[in-house]
Amino acid sequence: MAATANPEVAPLVSVLARQEAIYQQLLEVASDERQAIVAGNLTDLKAALQRKQDILETDQLAGALRAQARLRGGDDDAGLDHRLQRTE
């Protein structure tokens, strides 16, 4: 399908791909949370909640960096992975 060749569609595809990746990560964490709750394992629950917080904070940071790139007139994702790795 050549939909991504359309310059108006490409950014939407990129956003949807990021959202799907985050959603999948959060689903995995939710599964770990449920298992920890059922097992009564507070240590595992705390670790799962921390992972969820980390995922959400990383996504928030990525959004801020993309917004900053747009304000500067740059490509949304140019160097984004590199900047995120430096903050982790």
Residue-wise pLDDT for 46-88, tens only, equals 999 999 999 999 999 888 888 888 888 865 554 555 555 555 4
Find which of 3-7, 9-13, 56-60 is predicted with most confidence, using mean pLDDT: 56-60
The burial class, CB within 10 Å (0-12 / 13-18 / 19+), for 48 is buried
pTM score of the predicted model: 0.66
Q: Are the C-beta atoms of 23 and 30 separated by less than 8 Å?
A: no
Question: Which residue reads 């900047």 in tokens?
Answer: 83
Residue-wise pLDDT for 29-43, tens only, equals 999 999 999 999 999
Rounded Cα–Cα distance for residues 77 and 69 (Å): 8
